[in-house]
Amino acid sequence: MKGEGNASEDNSGKQQEILINKIHRLKKRKNAIVLAHYYQVPEIQEVADYVGDSLGLAQQAAQTHADLIAFAGVHFMAETAKLLNPQKKVVLPDLQAGCSLADSLPPDQFEQFINQHPGHTIITYINCSADIKAMSDIICTSSNAEQIIRSIPANQPIIFAPDINLGRYLIKKTGRHMQLWNGACVVHQSFAIEKLLALHRQHPDAKIIAHPEAEEHILKVAHYIGSTAGMIKYVSQDRSSKYIVATEAGILHQMTKTVPDKILIPAPSHEDNTCACSECGFMKMNTLEKLYLSMDTEGPEITLREETRTKALAPLLRMLELSKN
């Protein structure tokens, strides 16, 4: 039995190596770039030209000279790349790779919400559709949300959507009153506070680090709160040697590479008693094989109506301009 297991592992290792070589060849032949989010499976992160958070990925998309952008992330991220690159082909390995947070903000309901709060500046978190971006004044990510809010005059009322946990955190941080949409991320809602505290009691020397999409009671006990890129930077600069990480488990790949000598423990979620990890099912829809196929066939492709694209681009460019330094 053991021999058989090793043989099938060898086989899948070889298949993976073949796919990796094919992807590298396609990159050269098609002048293609692979952009990947930290939540992608390790083998996709390894083959990518750039791995980053939502802001970093948008910045890379804005400056690339590639003809084909293979976006290993979720739909709103690939759509953001397309907003910035109307002449280029942007492919997403699996078109079903959505986002529960983006889905929590349907455009017709948001229009009603905006009408109920006239005169407000509309700040939307990048985890939303192009239709929502087209209704916004400025976009933000978890990396720059505080800076974006502070750029709005103090007496100007603000609508913030769709993430209610991030919104509440930002109200606390900036002291600004904002009208919040009640949306959330399934992954970050799943962290269990009792289990987290019990885990911390077992590892009292560990620091808790959390993504601001996590619920208020999780953020309350966190020693550091930040975007995925912010969390990786924090563990590389902080002096502690152990961290409990409250975000999607895919981040552990780059984090481990960045701080190989530190101990990283995934924060426990409600459902999961076995592996203590939280995974985004949408992010994990992309596989190395689907990535290869998307580059080979140049599909599935992200397409946008030109009117939506130009309307959605303006608030995105405003964000990129404010995030330059």
228 binds, among ligand SF4, ligand 13P, none (CB under 5 to 8 A by kind): ligand 13P
Which does residue 104 bind out of ligand SF4, ligand 13P, none, counting CB within 5 to 8 angstroms by kind? none
Select from ligand SF4, ligand 13P, none the partner in contact with residue 141, using the beta carbon and a kind-dependent cut-off of 5 to 8 Å. ligand 13P
**Binding flag, residue 283, ligand SF4 (CB under 6 A):** yes
Of 159, 161, 185, 225, the one binding ligand SF4 by CB under 6 A: 185
Q: Taking contact as CB under 6 A, which single stretch among the options 27-35, 184-192, 229-237, 284-292 is the one that binds ligand SF4? A: 184-192
Instruction: Determine, following the binding rule CB under 6 A, whether residue 126 of this chain makes contact with ligand SF4.
Output: no
Long-range contacts of 293-297 (CB under 8 A, 24+ apart): 293/93, 294/70, 294/91, 294/92, 294/93, 295/23, 295/26, 295/27, 295/30, 295/32, 295/34, 295/68, 295/70, 295/91, 296/22, 296/26
**Where does residue 276 fall: left (phi above 0), alpha (psi -120 to 50 degrees), or beta otherwise?**
left
- β-partners of residue 208 are 244
Residue with Cβ nearer ligand 13P (213 or 279): 213
Rounded least distance, CB 186 to ligand SF4, Å = 5
Footprint on residues 71-100 left by ligand SF4 (CB under 6 A): 74, 99-100
Q: How far apart are CA 76 and CA 126, in angstroms?
A: 8
Beta bridge partners of 122: 159
Q: What single-letter amino acid sits at 264?
A: L
Total residues belonging to the chain: 325
What is the rounded CA–CA span in Å between residue 174 and residue 165? 14
Tokens found for residue 112 = 């009603």
* Shortest Cβ 283–ligand 13P spacing (Å): 8
CB 25 to ligand 13P: min, Å: 29
Structure-token pair, residue 35 = 């952009």
User: Is the Cβ of residue 26 or residue 209 nearer to ligand SF4 in the bound state?
Assistant: 209
Taking CB under 6 A as the criterion, the residue among 40, 64, 80, 127 binding ligand SF4 is 127
H or E element in which residue 216 lies: helix 216-220
208 near ligand SF4, judged by CB under 6 A: no
Q: How far apart are the first and last CA of the chain?
A: 57
The minimum distance between CB 183 and ligand SF4, in angstroms, equals 10
Residues that bind ligand 13P (CB under 6 A): 38, 53-54, 127, 141-142, 185, 211, 213, 227-228
Contact residues toward ligand SF4 (CB under 6 A) are: 74, 99-101, 127, 185-187, 213, 248, 280, 282-283
